[in-house]
Structure 1
């Protein structure tokens, strides 16, 4: 069901009504309400309102890891990645074994071009959960930028194995092979991406890869793979 926009006045009314349900509502209870509002705002694309709600949730219950991760991830979606990193770095101090926190933090490091930190975060996340496709996929992007191509290929292959219906790992695998001058395997990997989503045969669509963690250089490399696949100069 599609979530409609929540008016600010309704949010205040909901919170007031919630506080009347119990004679002594706890701060943790109120934090849950703010987290739910933050998720609703984020789902409808209102990132400023979502961030404000998650910030309030963290203020009310600073020890709740879910609130910290939601705040950090939403800051990332709003392209406030330096602040997102600080929030998520505090979160991992609370629980150094929480996979979702390390996934989120690793992605933030990746888009911040903190590649060594991204590798460390995603390596730990993949160790905590060997079936963590997110970690392997982002390791591939990180290693490709670091010109560690055998590791980039191995990580992309693992990500594609874990989530074969996702075209992103196949594109990551294609550009790693392409950088290794292995055009045959690069083309095969890229054709897998096209088979899953034929929009990847459209050069203009590749700009969307920015939302999947690709750098501008990696998007250009993807365009080069597509051009070579179609025989264009």
Structure 2
């Protein structure tokens, strides 16, 4: 009887995920369609009317982009952003340039500017996986969870084996108290990237907050098996760089202390 119940529960959850995916697709398309006209209406971001790029500007744009990446590597974010903005001004149709600018702004904790840059990238390419992964993280980190769910769901539709999307959906759903979905998406992320400890920790905190503490402990031990540094509670503070909120980090520390 227990096996039958568990099997049916898993089947129901899979069906729920498929239904949710369809609903999310409708929300995604609505969100994208409502956002793009605003970008198109702004003369500063009307990308479709950019003049043809000449070779000199292209070379200069490439040089500024490389300069910006070098500054970013040194965590000189203001200088990196300034160089990347010059690159985008010179080569406004360059998708990678806008994504790099947006992600650099995110790293500099300028999330409003990051969202704007990444929406402009999406305007150039509405199927850009990199852009949707990045903007979904921006919304997740700033706490706009429903929008993050929509954006990452679209990213998962664009590429079914997109570990980043599944992992971040787990984090978002855990914060929304949708624990079954959080656990399911974390499990999918684990299957896609079994050598990454982050999805294991995401699954563990979702299990813990759902009340399944034995499973949470087992999953956290699996994370430690992947990366022994997760035995150290201080090391867990770095999870904020992996999209975890402060509350989620505290939950991870609770699970660790219970082992």
Which has a greater percent of helix? 2
Are residue 45 (structure 1) and residue 75 (structure 2) matched?
yes
- Deviation for aligned residue 1:199: 1.6
After superposition, residues 27-42 of structure 1 pair within 5 angstroms as 27-42=57-72
Structure 1 stretches of 5 or more lacking a match? 1-23
Which residue matches 1:77?
107
After superposition, residues 81-230 of structure 1 pair within 5 angstroms as 81-229=111-259
More contact order relative to length (CA 8 Å, sep ≥ 6): 2
Rounded Cα–Cα distance in structure 2 between residues aligned with 1:48 and 1:80: 10
- Deviation for aligned residue 1:26: 2.7
Rounded Cα–Cα distance in structure 1 between residues aligned with 2:173 and 2:237: 21
Contact 1:82 1:112 in 2 (8 A): no
- Deviation for aligned residue 1:201: 1.1
Which residue matches 1:17?
none
Residue deviations 1:78-119 (CA, integer Å, cap 9, x gap): 111111111111211111100000000000000110101100
Say which SS state the counterpart of residue 201 (structure 2) adopts.
helix
Residue deviations 1:174-212 (CA, integer Å, cap 9, x gap): 000011111121111101111111121111111111111
- Deviation for aligned residue 1:29: 2.2
For normalisation by structure 1, the TM-score amounts to 0.86
For normalisation by structure 2, the TM-score amounts to 0.77
Runs of 4+ in 1 over 2 A off after TM superposition: none
Which residue matches 1:12?
none
Say which SS state the counterpart of residue 168 (structure 1) adopts.
helix
Change (3 A) 1:25 1:92: closer
- Deviation for aligned residue 1:59: 0.6
- Deviation for aligned residue 1:48: 1.7
Rounded Cα–Cα distance in structure 2 between residues aligned with 1:82 and 1:215: 18
Rounded Cα–Cα distance in structure 2 between residues aligned with 1:82 and 1:112: 9
Which residue matches 2:17?
none
Contact 1:175 1:222 in 2 (8 A): yes
Rounded Cα–Cα distance in structure 2 between residues aligned with 1:41 and 1:60: 19
Change (3 A) 1:133 1:53: same
Structure 2 stretches of 5 or more lacking a match? 1-53
Rounded Cα–Cα distance in structure 1 between residues aligned with 2:119 and 2:149: 15
- Deviation for aligned residue 1:44: 2.6
Cα RMSD over matched residues? 1.1
Counting matched residue pairs gives 206
